[in-house]
Each structure stands twice: as C-alpha cells, then as structure tokens.
Amino acid sequence: MEKKGKAVPFSKLSISYNPFMLLGMDDGLRRIVKAVNEREKIIVYGCYDLDGITAVSLLFLVLKYLNADVEYFISDGDNGKFNIDADIIRNHVKFLGTDLMITVGCGMNSYEQVELCKQLGIDVIITDYHTFDSIIPRTVVINPNQAECTYPFKELSSVGVTYKLVQAISSYYQMKCISKYLDLVMLGSISNHVPYIGENKLMIDEGIYHMNYTNNYGLKALIKVNNIKYINLESANRLVSSIMPRRNSSRWLDNARITVELFTTSNSDRAEQIAKYLKNEIKITKTHEE
C-alpha cells in the first residue's frame, strides 16, 4: 500500500519515523482508501479532551479535503475510560448509515463495542495510544503501545498517532504541505502534557512555527480574541488553557463539540463567534470556582 504514493512528506520532520512502521497502518490505510474512493460513510469518533478534539479535527479536515463522506462524533469517553460508547453506536452511528468508524485516542478496551459494530455492519479502525487491560479488539488497531508494535517512539498522544495516520494517507494521495496541520497537533500534544522529547518535540516545535502563519480560521480567531501577538511555547500553553474549561465543568462535553466546529469551520465570522463564546465560558467557569 505504501508503495502506491510518493515518499511521506515529512517537511522539517526529517528524523520523524515512517508511519508504516506502526503495526496496522498498512491495513488501516487500505480500508480508508476504499472508503474515500467509494464514498462510503466515515465517522471519526473521539473523546472530549483537547487532545481528542484536535485529533478529530485533524482527521476530519484531511478526509474532507479528499472529498470523503465524513462526519465526526465527540463522546465523554465512557466516563473517562476512553472506551467507545455502545449506546452512541446503537443510537447515533448506526442511523447515520456508517460503513467505517475511525477512533482517535480511544477504543483499546472496547472489545465488546467493536463486536457490536461488526454485527451492525460497521468496520472499525482504532487509533490510540493508551495501554489495554483486557482482550484487544478484533479489528485494525494502530497504537505504538500495543504488543508486537516495533514503532520506536512510544510517547505519542491521540493527535500524534492521528498525525502519523495522516502522513500515511498523504503518501498515498500525494498530498503536499500536510505539515500545516501541525498547529493542531501542537495544541493537542501540549494539552496532554506529553514528554517534550523525540517526535513530540519535533511536532510541537514545528507546530508553533506553523501557528504563527496558520490559515485555520479557528486558530486565527483564538489568537485574536486572546490578544496573543506571537506564538511560542509559553503563549501556546496559555492558548491551550484558554480553549476549554476544567473537566468538572458541566458544559465540558458541549464545549468540546463546538471546539471541533471552531477548528474545522471555513467561515471566519463563525470562528470568531465561537472563540468569543469559549473565552466567555472560561470566565464563567473561573467565577464559579472562586
């Protein structure tokens, strides 16, 4: 599968590892290519934290660029366990006519939920970084921390693993300049407090560079609303803390869903409206905590 495209466009990430070193990547890419080319319904499924939000946004934007029939769903991760929610599968994903569901940063401990998807005729690709404490789901799994995966760097977050998948997709479709998406990767990685080493450091550093020249309407609106003049590691951390309220906020899940809209909208006015709303939400949350 890898050989059908040109070399993976690593941009400045010259020592980044080849995404096809990840166990399951070749099979995952093959299924995604089929879904894109045959206009099958794809659902990108992620959880409510900023790492998951940026991962969903990243994959959604890339698949949309390829003219895929794609939608996304944000869940509470089965009460913080980062599992697939069976009720969401039955009550939402099924009725969208889904052919393929791709998880980002969740699903490693969702054996029964994957079996349910199979019964409903839904193929599943799991991308995750969490370790698992039960039977690994019987489906395509892309996770550097799964057994038998020899990928050298094990410290990727949800959006980091998703970016490796995007690198593989871009190699097949000969997409250029996917490094522009590293602004989202940087935000998600920082929010998850990943070790600032190896590929994480490379992606964060280049993500900061791209953030200063971003063409993402949502990110531009966030920078403007929060009066940030220049993005560096310090201001990037401030930006992360300005996006989402604390997880114990009753509006966390709603805000997570609207934040995906912020990152994926092509309307600059709508982006600024959402950015202002999120800033106000942070103020409300802090007031309630005082």
Per residue, the 3-state secondary structure of 27-44, as one string, reads HHHHHHHHHHHCCCEEEE
The set of residues, in sequence order, having a beta carbon less than 8 Å from that of 226 and lying 6+ positions away, is 238, 239, 242, 275, 279
The set of residues, in sequence order, having a beta carbon less than 8 Å from that of 63 and lying 6+ positions away, is 36, 42, 44, 70
Model-wide pTM > 0.85: yes
Measured between alpha carbons, how far is 182 from 160 in angstroms, rounded to an integer?
9
Mean pLDDT score of the chain, rounded to an integer?
A: 89
With CA atoms as reference, report the closest residue to 67 among 219, 215, 175, 218: 175
Q: pLDDT grade, residue 245 (50/70/90)?
A: low
Please give the C-alpha separations between residue 93 and each of 70, 78, 154, in angstroms, as whole numbers. Answer: 12, 15, 31
Across residues 104-114, what is the average pLDDT?
Answer: 94
Domain boundaries, the chain: 17-289
Tokens for 61? Answer: 């934007």
Across residues 144-171, what is the average pLDDT?
Answer: 96
The set of residues, in sequence order, having a beta carbon less than 8 Å from that of 58 and lying 6+ positions away, is 159, 162, 163, 166, 181, 184, 185
Q: What is residue 48's predicted lDDT score, i.e. its pLDDT? A: 87
Q: What is residue 243's predicted lDDT score, i.e. its pLDDT? A: 83
With CA atoms as reference, report the closest residue to 193 among 74, 50, 56: 50
pLDDT one-digit tens code per residue, 20-77: 999 999 999 999 999 999 999 999 999 889 999 999 999 999 999 999 999 999 987 6
For the ranges 27-41, 234-248, 266-280, the one whose mean pLDDT is highest? 27-41
Q: Which residues pair with 41 in a beta bridge?
A: 69
Measured between alpha carbons, how far is 107 from 135 in angstroms, rounded to an integer?
11
If one counts every other C-beta atom within 10 angstroms of the C-beta of residue 37, the result is: 12
With CA atoms as reference, report the closest residue to 162 among 138, 186, 139: 186
Measured between alpha carbons, how far is 97 from 54 in angstroms, rounded to an integer?
25
Given the candidates 3.10.129.10, 1.20.1510.10, 3.40.640.10, 3.90.1640.30, the CATH classification of the domain at 17-289 is: 3.90.1640.30
pLDDT one-digit tens code per residue, 128-156: 999 887 788 999 999 999 989 999 999 99
CB-side exposure of 24: number of CA atoms within 13 Å? 23
Helix (H) or strand (E) holding 210: helix 198-211
44 touches 102 (CB < 8 A): yes
Tokens 């400045």: give the residue: 12
